[in-house]
Amino acid sequence: MTHTYSIAEARARLRTIVDQAEAGLEVELTRRGKPVAVVLSCRELERLRGKRIRFRDAYSSFLDKYSLDEVDLEQEVSSVRDATAGRTVSL
């Protein structure tokens, strides 16, 4: 459940907003009725920032474990592309 406060309300209720965020609730701040910010707990922020492996590193690790011949992948993708001219189009 999202709790929503205007910026003016947030000034008056900061302690409540921090307590709600710390408890894991979603707290949204609005300006003139439009969402402009979200207050998160430190735990949630760390979860969102969590370390993720980059694709390049994951792919390199995959290639270290398996050869492309074992998984039936071709090293070149040029053989997959259709080299024909395509269909005729009249404009």
**pTM here?**
0.54
Residue 90 in any domain: the answer is no
Q: What is the pLDDT of residue 19?
A: 95
Q: Per the domain annotation, does 88 fall within a domain?
A: no
Domain count for the chain: 1
The CATH number that applies at residue 48 is 3.40.1620.10
CB-based contact 64:45 (threshold 8 Å): no
The answer to whether 38 and 62 are in contact (CB under 8 A) is no
Q: Is residue 91 part of a domain?
A: no
pLDDT of residue 71: 67
Domain annotation covers residue 33? yes
pLDDT at 83 over 80: no
For residue 85, tell me if it sits in a domain.
no
User: Which phi and psi angles does 23 have, rounded to 5°?
Assistant: -80, 0
Where in the sequence is the domain holding 6, given as residue range(s)?
1-71
Residue 77 lies in a domain: no
pLDDT band at 68 (very low <50, low <70, confident <90, very high): confident
User: So what's the pLDDT on residue 65?
Assistant: 87
Residue 78 inside a domain? The answer is: no
Q: Which residues lie closer than 8 Å to 46 by C-beta, 6 or more apart?
A: none
pLDDT digits (tens, 9 = 90+) for 24-59: 999 999 999 999 999 999 999 888 888 888 899 998
75 pLDDT band, cuts 50/70/90, is low
User: Do the domain assignments include residue 9?
Assistant: yes
